Amino acid sequence: MIQQQQTYFLELYRAGLRAASDIAKASIENAQRLHAQQVDALRQALDTNSDSARRLSEASSLTDLLALQVKLAGMQTEQAAEFWTRAWRTAGETQVAMLGQVNSQVGQLSDRMRETYSAATRVVENAVNNGAEAEQRRSA
């Protein structure tokens, strides 16, 4: 009986370790995705900067220069908004995935706890019944 309880507690422990490992894995994957997005944004910014510098150097008048500056500023604002939209979307998706994993693990832990409680209850009931039977035999 004690062996069975130890087995249940070990299962609970293993399930907790799996849950922690899954959450850590999801966090690392999220960090990798965000890092990749940052690298892509940086590459895009460098390309845009080179293109902007080339276009600005080709401007033939102050009016052309100002018009180009306004156009480039709008493009840069759009790129920044796009970057933050992707970053927040990735963070949101990661939170949803992590909550799903936690919910699943909590469900499994709850099931295991119910099993452990049921097993412990059966052990106690058996011990009480065996004790009562032994007492009856002694009385008879």
> For residue range 6-29, what is the model confidence (pLDDT) as tens digits?
777 788 788 778 888 888 888 898
The mean per-residue pLDDT over the stretch 86-95 comes to 86
Q: How far apart are CA 105 and CA 119, in angstroms?
A: 21
Residue 84 above 80 pLDDT?
yes
Mean pLDDT of the chain: 84
Tokens of residue 19, six digits? 């849950």
Q: What is the pLDDT of residue 36?
A: 92
Range in 16-30, 43-57, 68-82 with the lowest mean pLDDT: 16-30
Tokens of residue 15, six digits? 């399930």
Which one-letter amino acid corresponds to residue 68? L
* pLDDT greater at residue 140 or residue 138: 138
- Give the CATH architecture of domain 2-139: Orthogonal Bundle (1.10)
Residue 127 half-sphere exposure toward CB, CA atoms < 13 A: 8
Q: How far apart are CA 36 and CA 103, in angstroms?
A: 28
Which of 41, 27, 131, 24 is CA-nearest to residue 85?
A: 41
Residue 75 above 70 pLDDT?
yes
The pairs formed by 44-51 with CB atoms below 8 angstroms and a separation of 24 or more are: 44/79, 45/79, 48/72, 48/75, 48/76, 48/79
Q: What is the pLDDT of residue 1?
A: 58
Q: What is the pLDDT of residue 14?
A: 85
Q: How many CB atoms lie within 10 A of CB 138?
A: 7
Which one-letter amino acid corresponds to residue 124? V
Q: How far apart are CA 55 and CA 73, in angstroms?
A: 13
